[in-house]
Structure 1
Amino acid sequence: MISLENKQNILITGGAGFIGSRLSLALVEAGHAVIVLDNLSPQIHGDEPEASPLYHAIRDKVTFVRGDVTKAEDLHKVLPGTDTVVHLAAETGTGQSMYAIEHYSRVNVGGTSLLLDLIANAPYPVKRLVVASSRAVYGEGKYSSPELGAVYPGARKDEDMAQGQFEHLCPVTGKILTLEATDEDSALHPSSVYGVTKLTQEQLIMSVGQALGISAVAFRYQNVYGPGQSLSNPYTGILSIFSTRMRQDASINIFEDGKESRDFVYIDDVVTATKAAIEHPDMQLQQVFNVGSGVGTDVLTIANTLRQHFDAKSEITVSGQYRVGDIRHNVADLSKAQDVLGFQPTVDINQGLQKFVAWVKGEAVGKDRYEESLNEMKAKGLFK
């Protein structure tokens, strides 16, 4: 437990969500006072949000206000007396962002702008800002070749992927580029609307924090997973999608060639890193951090591992289909978070998947909206 003089009044926007609820509980356990602002979005919490397990986990442990970050009157309810603002409220998902453009911009960029405007212009005692950014700000990330050194390729071309060419090639030799761990100094060129909005959120927080002379921290979370993530939202990641379909013995469609990879980071590790920044003694801390496992795992491996854990009969097909805006690979360089925050991930992908599957098996089998989401994208020319 923290000492009385180190106790903070912490506002978490989106604090009833997957990351927010876990973080809220960890901060309360540490002795902080937590107030949560959350709109209990049905896409995350289901058709009866008040019955959501995520909401119930925090309901009697935090001060909860149901409201929206795009409404000034709701923000005014929760900002008085706040020492630290942890801004997690946002629309997530690369695919959906490519056609729900105004909505993503209004919530992610507009909500962040409004929050900062109120802090800058009203007498609220905020001393630290923390925002959930994303690895999506890097776009395709960092690669290298002997001829060019570090290479930051742009978004992949439709015509290349249509021919089954999914890897990034060296423009000099035509050979496949070597994937490198992406550090915080890597080029920033998001390839999706979601990535653009997360980069804007991050830059707003960092710029305003510096201007106001208060601490500002942005976390570029990798692919966060674990118990508590939505199993019904088809835009939250492949682990949820695959798990729901495998429990129904439904077929699994692996996009591209199945070798596309992601840095999957377990929820407990994400909470540990975030809490370390919230409690960091340097009240002038102004930093951006990667938070991941530091290891890439390909999608086909994930699918096969899950099928084994579920003892499922689902047929796994590598289709060669692809989504516009998806990246090929990503793996995070964690050196900075290790040096400044002392962060070290403790749950590897095998341990994490076992814990995740054990939790999923205790949950009801929800509605599978996966095909519906693909049809939405296909109708708009974003899934091929």
Structure 2
Amino acid sequence: MTAVLRSRRLRAAAVATGAAVLVTRALRRRVKDSPLWPMPALEQPISGIGRTRTGHRELLVVERAEEAEGVVRLRLEGESLPGWEPGAHIDLVLPSGAVRQYSLCGDPADTGTYTVAIRLVEDGRGGSREVHEQLQEGTVVAVRGPRNRFRLAESHAYLFIAGGIGITPILPMLRQAEREGVPWRLLYGGRSRASMPFLAEIEKLAGADGDRVTVVAEDEDGRPDPAAALADAPPHSAVYCCGPQPLMDAVAGLLPDGLELHTEAFAPVAAGAGAAGGAFEVELRRTGRTVTVAEDRSILRALREQALPDLPYSCEQGFCGTCRQHVVEGDIDHRDELLTDAERDEQMLICVSRCHGERLVLDL
């Protein structure tokens, strides 16, 4: 009830002062002017908080809390939000125009809000700092999605392995497994207990059977031992791992026969703009131009440099989807971590994906 009243007060204050309109207009200006993503300005929804014509939704930050050291939790409210399942993530379109992906870690049954938790990465690309410094209670933020490439498959038992902020997609999975009565175990590692988000809720989920959860704080116990956790997993268990790449590599290398591994990375493993690959040509069907993509250039960079300087983009790492294009002809060398198998037949992310062969034709 307190959260509902708080949300109503925030919304009422925004409407009474015109703050929602001002923030939305400011967001539109900054996104439009951003050198990172010169996309069309967002449309103004009737209420100031809702769906936009560009496929984004403008949500209100109704709660901001420090979930752990360096981790901020945001609860975003909106109307008629699409449903989601454990493992799903949303795209936050930040005030600068940058797009970042964050796992949903709330309750799928709550159809009026989305919850995300973001760790501040001091040496990152700036997205997490922007979230921490600019997304306060009462802020309006544009959201895309949700999408899910880390779904919880049916299984007779689960082993979850999480490192640090990698707990965010795992947490809703724990809740679902517990609700459905499916046996589960969790290995959860972090730098320190104070830095590990949702630790209290996880230990509460474990209940009397505290052995289901193994918490390893590096400053107390050293690094977690995935080998022991995997060895104890029942045969044919589903193993879900999210965390730093070295942790996921270790789990993959130690996986016993009979266990099914599912992973999700913080950052894409796709090859970047300078990835190995021969040169090829890209024909732009609608403009009638042909661009040569050199070995050391991405399609995105080649098109912006030679033909379409205003072509939208954001992450340049194959996971946000801003540069998605329709392919008319050609054999696509997919290197992204976003598109579904069905989408890959006719679409590609031109910031990382390339061509098997000498020629692609894009609907541009």
Q: TM-score, normalised by structure 1?
A: 0.31
Larger radius of gyration: 2
Which has more strand, going by share of residues? 2
Question: Counting helix residues as a fraction of each chain, which structure ranks higher?
Answer: 1
Q: Which of structures 1 and 2 has the larger relative contact order (alpha carbons within 8 angstroms, sep 6+)?
A: 1
Provide the TM-score with structure 2 as the length reference: 0.32
